[in-house]
Amino acid sequence: TPLLLSKVVDALDEIYRLMNESQAVDVRGDTYEYLLSKIAQSGLNGQFRTPRHIIKMMVELMDPKADEIICDPACGTAGFLVSSAQYLRAHYEDSMTPEQWQHFAGPMFTGFDTDRTMLRISAMNLMLHSITNPEIDYKDSVSKQNSICSKYTICLANPPFKGTVDAESINDDLKAVTNTKKTELLFLALFLRMLKTGGRCACIVPDGVLFGSSKAHQSIRKELIENHQLRAVISMPSGVFKPYAGVSTAVLVFTKTGAGGTDKVWFYDMKADGFSLDDKRTEVKENDIPDIISRFHNLN
């Protein structure tokens, strides 16, 4: 109601008044993220919210620097982009140049989605985290109507699973990598096309990408392993996405090389993520994530 909204605005205004500007930015963003976390529903197109601690883990695996160009081509509420911004501020705030801050305010962060409501949410989310001019666009990332630019240094994403795309509308560049209508395979091909040579990706995929026996599944695995550098496969328990879905997933970490480089692939079987693996997802002591991050950054 208008009265309730007025009370909320007044209450937040009082909080901001007691803080300096940098604290107020954090609280504004945190408040918005908290409200998003309470929207316990999946989107119209079957998208569901990626848990923030999983996003944070993936960002820490990528270890973004101040000059990166970061993209999420299925951005939803922009969780990956916001978390990347928070990581950069936490690690480089005191050492960034004015030019890097200008880059941070807009060109660094790009997100695409096909749900206009999600785009409005993600633009608001980024602006509340001091990214004043992000590139957030309505785009069907795998469609032939869109040109694909190889300009990004990091891709972070939880692309749609279990979907299919009309074969005639699929971008020919992606068909050349894997001839399929499955969204989870098309997005992997997309990441490879979007990244600059040397660019890195951390993305969530369903287990079928790892074990599927179809020609399309085999061709995308062959592309990753033989033509690029697959660095890590982190298997996650099936309860990670509850209460939305009980799918078994994994995080793939790879670098675009165009010339191979997959010598060793690091596998990790995550058993616990700090929360119970039922619909309630209450906090628990068991948590493999700190161990995953530590080990990944100390691989031989």
pLDDT digits (tens, 9 = 90+) for 133-159: 889 998 887 877 677 788 999 999 999
Cα separation, 205 vs 70, in Å, equals 19
pLDDT, tens digit, for every residue of 237-292? Answer: 988 988 777 788 999 999 999 998 999 999 999 999 999 998 888 999 999 999 99
pLDDT bucket at 20, cuts 50 / 70 / 90? confident
pLDDT the model gives residue 21 = 64
- 236: pLDDT strictly greater than 80: yes
Contacts of 294 (CB under 8 A, 6+ apart): none
Q: Residues 220, 176: contact at Cβ < 8 Å? A: no
Q: Which tokens belong to 62? A: 């990528």
- 110: pLDDT strictly greater than 70: yes
- 172: pLDDT strictly greater than 60: yes
Cα–Cα distances in Å, from 135 out to 47, 70, 237, 259, 300? 21, 10, 33, 31, 37
Q: Residues 203, 191: contact at Cβ < 8 Å? A: yes
pLDDT the model gives residue 45 = 44
Between 20 and 198, name the one with better pLDDT: 198
Between 34 and 98, name the one with better pLDDT: 98
Contacts of 53 (CB under 8 A, 6+ apart): 273, 274, 275, 289
- The pLDDT mean for the chain works out to 87
Cα–Cα distances in Å, from 257 out to 100, 153, 227, 262? 26, 12, 7, 10
pLDDT the model gives residue 42 = 46
pLDDT the model gives residue 17 = 80
DSSP 8-state secondary structure symbol assigned to residue 25: H
- 162: pLDDT strictly greater than 50: yes
- 105: pLDDT strictly greater than 60: yes
